[in-house]
Amino acid sequence: MRTLSLAAWLVFVGTAAAQPTTEPTEEAPDPAEEEARILFDHGRELAEERRFAEAVEAFERSLERHARPSTRFNLALCLFALGRHVETLDVLERYVAEAPPEEAEGVIEARRMMALARGRLATLAVETVPADASVTIDGDTVSDARELRLDPGVHVVRVAALDHATQVMRLELGAGERRRELVRLESTRSPALLSLSVDRPATITLDGVVIDAVRDERLEPGPHRLVVEAPGASWTRDLTLESGQHHEIDLALPPEPPPPAEWWQKPWPWLAAGVVVVGGILAAVLLTGRTGEPTGGNTGVVLEGGSAGPTGARIVP
């Protein structure tokens, strides 16, 4: 579908605005409405001369005296020409909601202009540390800086928080650009100091970051988490440090457990093997017999060689 050019839009709104919205009456004109019409005509002349900033002022003053949908359309057209797309969308959304049936063509063109304006907007997301910092864009405080619709161009972003140094940034955004900015404010309070000593090698994590050591670590006052992990030991501590505080921790971890023994280092295989060996010797003696002198023992049993038994061994009580 064809989109009207800027000149065509000007012709369209000039023609539409010239048509009366009500039947003429013999009643005396309302002074405010008459002044609004004069300002409206002046705004149209300025817009046709491409003096859009002055035209915006004339249309806004006209709307203050008498609000008419066609005046809003002309105002939106001039805002669009100036690249003020956020304001363009706000004005056109109201125009579409208020336009009478006879301005159906104007509503169609308004929707086309809205689509163009949305495509040219930039999107900025500002995340802050601390999270409760206030964000100001071009002098206006925003309640939610997670996704801001901004006109392309240069913008001044100011981030401030209690007990922190204010930071001001100058950002240039392109049409359709999406950008994320993380702003960390520096605390103006005296830092806290944290020292940690551990009696054996361990992995130290401070606020989710693994560090080599903690020796007079300068930290922002407030909550912090310290985690120490070593073989056979794990230690966690949540700390709330005050401004100027020096907090020292001397940590003694449980002793490291000995490494698991291999099977050949454990006592039970030797005992079991000893039993097997002794049993094997006895079996050999009983089954095969022995030659030579009888051998006595403290049990009163004597093993003696001979052939009385089927196996060649004989037990003599």
Structure tokens at 4: 């009207």
Cβ–Cβ contacts within 10 Å for residue 6, how many?
Answer: 13
- CB-CB contact of 291 with 303 (8 Å): no
At 266-317, the pLDDT tens digits run 655 544 455 555 555 555 555 555 544 444 444 443 344 443 444 333 333 3
Percent of the chain surpassing pLDDT 90: 56
Residue 75, pLDDT score: 96
Full domain range(s) for residue 227: 192-251
* Phi, psi (deg, nearest 5) at residue 288: -105, -20
Whether the CA torsion 77, 83, 85, 90 is positive or negative: it is: negative
On whether the CB atoms of residues 3 and 112 are closer than 8 A, the answer is yes
Tally of domains within the chain? 4
Domain boundary among 139, 165, 184: 184
Same domain, 177 and 243: no
One domain, residues 247 and 214? yes
Amino acid at 137: I
Position 280 in a domain: yes
258 cis-preceded (ω within 30 degrees of 0) = no
As a whole number, mean pLDDT of residues 98-103 equals 90
- 190: phi then psi, degrees, rounded to nearest 5: -65, 135
Q: Is residue 1 part of a domain?
A: no
Residue 241 lies in a domain: yes
Boundary of a domain, candidates 70, 93, 119: 119
Q: Could you report the per-residue pLDDT of 183-239, keeping only the tens digit for each?
A: 999 888 888 899 999 999 999 999 999 988 888 888 888 899 999 999 989 999 999
Q: How far apart are CA 155 and CA 124, in angstroms?
A: 10
Q: Do 69 and 115 fall into the same domain? A: yes
What's the whole-model pTM score? 0.54
Shared domain for 98 and 131, answered yes or no, is no
Which residue in 90, 30, 83 sits closest to 60, CA to CA?
Answer: 90
Q: Is the pLDDT of residue 108 over 80?
A: yes
Whether 148 maps to a domain, the answer reads yes
In a domain, 260, yes or no: no
Q: Do 143 and 95 have their domain in common?
A: no
- Are residues 94 and 15 located together in one domain of the fold? yes
264 domain residue, yes or no: no
Pair (86, 11) in one structural domain: yes
Mean pLDDT of the chain: 81
Considering the domain architecture, whether residues 12 and 72 belong to the same structural domain is answered as yes
Do 245 and 311 sit in the same domain of this protein? no
Contacts 24+ apart (CB under 8 A), 29-34: 30/66, 32/65, 32/66, 33/65, 33/66
C-beta separation of 108 from 16 below 8 A: no
Place of tokens 């023992």: 297
Stretch 113-127: mean pLDDT: 95
pLDDT of residue 20 exceeding 80, the answer is: no
pLDDT for res 190: 86
Return d(Cα 11, Cα 8) in angstroms, integer. 5
**48 and 85 belong to one structural domain:** yes
Question: 187: which DSSP letter?
Answer: B
pLDDT at residue 291, as a whole number? 47
Residues in the chain: 317
Domain co-membership, 152 together with 211: no
CATH number of the CATH domain containing 66: 1.25.40.10
Residues 133 and 197 occupy one common structural domain: no
Can you give the CATH number for the domain in which 133 is found? 2.60.40.1120
Q: Are 130 and 161 in contact (CB under 8 A)?
A: yes
Residue 232 placed within a domain: yes
CA–CA distance from 229 to each of 202, 215, 219, 249 (Å)?
6, 17, 21, 15
Q: Single out the residue in 184, 209, 228 at which a domain terminates.
A: 184
Establish if 295 belongs to a structural domain.
yes
Q: How far apart are CA 291 and CA 289, in angstroms?
A: 7
